[in-house]
């Protein structure tokens, strides 16, 4: 069941990115990409996907109140589980399934992966996170 939820979440996120990309290309031109943005959020490590430099960390994160869209408009991103790239210099060994962290990530529209962890500060195991109704 958890695997199905993750698959659905990833499909939904990819659909949103695809729609945004199509909207940017409508009319033959391309919309200017929003500048890179940096965010801070608390999250729990769920799992990993891929290996080596292509490894992604799947995080269940709290809501982000002012995540900026491709157009630079602030939008609320609800608490959810999603995959993040991992920037060079981030200690991957500290990101263990079940561990809780304060995550700093950047978002660069058009980059793959678009969202990438740039810092991870371990939180105490008993830290209460607001991860949605299921928790």
Task: Say which CATH number the domain at 116 has.
Answer: 2.40.50.320
User: Residue 133: inside a domain, yes or no?
Assistant: no
> Tokens standing for 32?
């200017």
- How many other C-beta atoms lie within 10 A of the C-beta of residue 95? 21
Could you report the per-residue pLDDT of 55-69, keeping only the tens digit for each?
999 999 999 999 998
User: Residue 75: inside a domain, yes or no?
Assistant: yes
Q: What is the pTM of this model?
A: 0.71
User: Residue 30: inside a domain, yes or no?
Assistant: yes
Instruction: Check whether 133 has a pLDDT greater than 90.
Output: no
Pairwise CA distance, residues 121 & 135, whole Å: 22
> Tokens standing for 119?
């810092």
Q: Which residue range is the domain that position 73 belongs to? A: 2-122
To the nearest whole percent, how much of the chain has pLDDT over 70? 72
The dihedral sign for the CA sequence 76, 80, 85, 86: positive
């Amino acid at each position: 069941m958890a695997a199905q939820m993750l698959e659905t979440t990833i499909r939904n996120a990819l659909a949103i990115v695809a729609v945004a990309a199509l909207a940017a290309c409508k009319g033959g031109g391309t919309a200017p990409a929003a500048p890179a943005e940096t965010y801070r959020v608390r999250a729990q490590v769920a799992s990993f996907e891929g290996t080596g430099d292509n490894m992604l960390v799947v995080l269940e994160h709290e809501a982000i109140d002012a995540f900026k869209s491709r157009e630079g408009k602030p939008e609320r991103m609800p608490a959810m589980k999603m995959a993040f790239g991992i920037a060079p210099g981030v200690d991957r060994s500290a990101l263990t399934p079940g561990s809780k962290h304060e995550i700093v990530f950047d978002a660069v529209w058009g980059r793959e992966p678009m969202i990438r962890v740039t810092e991870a500060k371990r939180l105490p195991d008993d830290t209460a996170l607001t991860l949605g109704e299921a928790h």
